[in-house]
């Protein structure tokens, strides 16, 4: 599907919350099949001699780590591979990665993997520059020293971490996720090679695709959106809508895979500049408490958050509905918002995502804690509709 999103973005009203001055952060981007071969030259150009390659056990079982190591060595570099992390990277894992970085005398951080790998790489870079505990950096712009150069190579189509100023880490003592935000966390270079998507398990393709959709929708309705982020947000929504199911049903087909890689990139550029909303603020808490897949949680929560927001601020959902291919020209804005929620749920059904939080282990006893911790998440600040603890608990209960 070739979306008409750019035209929709150009005509979308900026909305009363849109800032009058837009600041847009982005790394250098290398995109296309075979792009992995450029990574060695990129690292050398950034001054690397002993780059640290952060990855995980799942990627070690694919051809991509060995291929990348070969490119690095061909560029005259001596890489150190570290894979001691798990999904939803933990504070102690990042501390261990930093120890390895120091022991090996590394100078550049490279991440090959999904959002957990890339976030872990960012966490190691923060500690390499500043020392301390990764939990000390929760919030906005807490890094006081320049961090090592970073090259990020996504192996999934959805997280957008390779272009974002976000780093999400699990606080294992509190069983919550903290959000670290800062311009310094935007990688120097993002290398997207759609070949890497061929080794994703089906469930991961579904989860990360819904994460990209959530990024696009939340960035478009965010209080911090602007005309630059609107363009990328709507394009990502249309690309996910047209290609996620095809990329899962036909994993060997080049075009859907390429367009999902683009969707992830576009969504990442949108949300790192516009920030996100309540779905992400809530999802972070569920993931931190129960160590569950982030994209799956988003797929369950997003329809409920869309309905909540659309009751108060429906107008922004009309362009989103058009990007999703919905016939909304004669539809009241609130109804268009509800149609968006229904379409998101239908897409989640099509890729096999559970319908409710109860199916993935959340219970009624968890809800008060989840609601309280959500209020402290930075992503809630840019949700278009203000929400208190009662609102958030009601959203969790509706999703249960």
- In a domain, residue 79? The reply is yes
For residue range 353-400, list pLDDT tens digits in order.
999 999 999 999 999 999 999 999 999 999 999 999 999 999 999 999
Number of domains, the chain: 2
Q: What is the pLDDT of residue 20?
A: 67
| CATH at residue 367 | 1.20.1090.10
Q: Any idea how long the chain is?
A: 400
Residues 55 and 183 in one domain: yes
For residue range 175-206, list pLDDT tens digits in order.
999 999 999 999 999 999 999 999 999 999 99
Confidence of residue 22 (pLDDT cuts 50, 70, 90): confident
pLDDT > 90 fraction of the chain, expressed in percent and rounded: 93
Average pLDDT over residues 326-335: 94
Residue 240's nearest CA partner among 269, 271, 274, 208 is 208
* Maximum separation of any 2 CA atoms in the chain, in Å: 64
- In a domain, residue 17? The reply is no
Domain end residue (candidates: 142, 157, 192): 192
Average pLDDT over residues 212-229: 97
pLDDT > 70 fraction of the chain, expressed in percent and rounded: 95
Residues 331 and 205 in one domain: yes
Domain end residue (candidates: 192, 226, 261): 192
Residues 184 and 209 in one domain: no
The distance in angstroms from the start CA to the end CA of the chain is 33
- In a domain, residue 159? The reply is yes
For residue range 60-106, list pLDDT tens digits in order.
999 999 999 999 999 999 999 999 999 999 999 999 999 999 999 99
Alpha-carbon gap, residue 354 to 67, rounded angstroms: 35
Alpha-carbon gap, residue 283 to 330, rounded angstroms: 33
Average pLDDT of the chain to the nearest whole number: 94
Task: Convert 288-303 to b/e letters by CB count within 10 Å (16 or more is b).
Answer: bbbbbbbbbbbbbbbb
Assess contact for 396 and 375: CB atoms under 8 A.
no
Residues 186 and 207 in one domain: no
- In a domain, residue 24? The reply is no
Task: Convert 57-85 to b/e letters by CB count within 10 Å (16 or more is b).
Answer: ebbeebebbebbbebbeebebebbbbbeb
- List helix spans (H) across 150-253: 202-221, 227-249
Sheet order of strands, 80-82 included: 28-31, 189-192, 150-154, 109-113, 52-54, 80-82
Confidence of residue 140 (pLDDT cuts 50, 70, 90): very high
Residues 216 and 324 in one domain: yes
Q: What is the pLDDT of residue 330?
A: 87
- In a domain, residue 175? The reply is yes
**pTM given for the model:** 0.93
Q: By three-state DSSP, how is residue 178 classified?
A: strand
- In a domain, residue 365? The reply is yes
Domain end residue (candidates: 161, 192, 223): 192
Residues 177 and 217 in one domain: no
Residue 154's H or E segment, with its range, is strand 150-154
Residues 173 and 205 in one domain: no
Average pLDDT over residues 322-329: 95
* Domain of residue 112, residue span: 34-192
Residues 168 and 312 in one domain: no
Residues 332 and 205 in one domain: yes
- DSSP summary character for residue 329: T
- In a domain, residue 84? The reply is yes
Q: By three-state DSSP, how is residue 239 classified?
A: helix
Q: What is the pLDDT of residue 8?
A: 37
Alpha-carbon gap, residue 147 to 167, rounded angstroms: 14
Whether residue 3 has pLDDT greater than 60: no
- In a domain, residue 345? The reply is yes
| CATH at residue 52 | 3.40.50.1970
Whether residue 251 has pLDDT greater than 90: no
Residues 253 and 306 in one domain: yes
Average pLDDT over residues 110-122: 97
Residues 185 and 247 in one domain: no
Q: What is the pLDDT of residue 15?
A: 44
Q: What is the pLDDT of residue 14?
A: 40
Residues 236 and 96 in one domain: no
Average pLDDT over residues 30-54: 97
């Amino acid at each position: 599907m070739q979306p008409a999103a750019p035209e929709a973005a150009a005509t979308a009203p900026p909305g009363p919350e849109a800032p009058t001055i837009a600041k847009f952060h982005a790394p250098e981007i290398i995109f296309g099949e075979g792009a992995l071969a450029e990574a060695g030259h990129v690292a050398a150009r950034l001054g690397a001699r002993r780059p640290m390659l952060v990855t995980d056990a799942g990627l070690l079982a694919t051809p991509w780590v060995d291929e990348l190591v070969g490119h690095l060595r061909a560029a005259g570099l001596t890489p150190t591979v570290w894979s001691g992390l798990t999904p939803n990277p933990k504070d102690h894992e990042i501390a261990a990665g930093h120890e390895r970085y120091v022991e090996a005398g590394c100078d550049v951080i490279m991440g090959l993997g999904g959002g957990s790998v890339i976030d872990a790489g960012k966490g190691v870079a923060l500690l390499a520059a500043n020392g301390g505990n990764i939990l000390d950096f929760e919030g906005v712009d807490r890094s006081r020293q320049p961090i090592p150069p970073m090259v990020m190579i996504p192996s999934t189509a959805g997280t957008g971490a390779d272009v974002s100023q976000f780093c999400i880490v699990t606080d294992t003592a509190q069983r919550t996720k903290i959000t670290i935000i800062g311009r310094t966390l935007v990688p120097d270079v993002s290398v997207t090679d759609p070949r890497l998507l061929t080794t994703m398990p089906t469930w991961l393709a579904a989860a990360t695709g819904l994460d990209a959709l959530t990024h696009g929708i939340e960035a478009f309705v965010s209080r911090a959106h602007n005309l630059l982020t609107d363009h990328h947000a709507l394009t990502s929504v249309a690309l996910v809508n047209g290609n996620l199911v095809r990329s899962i049903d036909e994993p060997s087909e080049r075009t859907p895979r390429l367009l999902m890689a683009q969707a992830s990139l576009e969504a990442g550029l949108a949300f790192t500049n516009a920030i996100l909303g309540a779905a992400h603020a809530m999802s972070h808490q569920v993931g931190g408490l129960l160590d569950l897949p982030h994209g799956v949680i988003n797929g369950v929560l997003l329809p409920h958050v869309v309905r909540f927001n659309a009751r108060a601020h429906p107008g922004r959902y009309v362009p989103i509905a058009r990007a999703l291919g919905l016939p909304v020209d004669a539809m009241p804005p609130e109804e268009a918002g509800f149609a968006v929620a229904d379409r998101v749920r239908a897409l989640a059904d099509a890729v096999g995502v559970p319908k409710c939080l109860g199916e993935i282990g959340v219970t009624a006893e968890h809800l008060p804690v989840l609601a309280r911790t959500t209020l402290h998440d930075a992503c809630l600040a840019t949700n278009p509709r203000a929400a208190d603890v009662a609102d958030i608990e009601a959203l969790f209960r509706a999703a249960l």
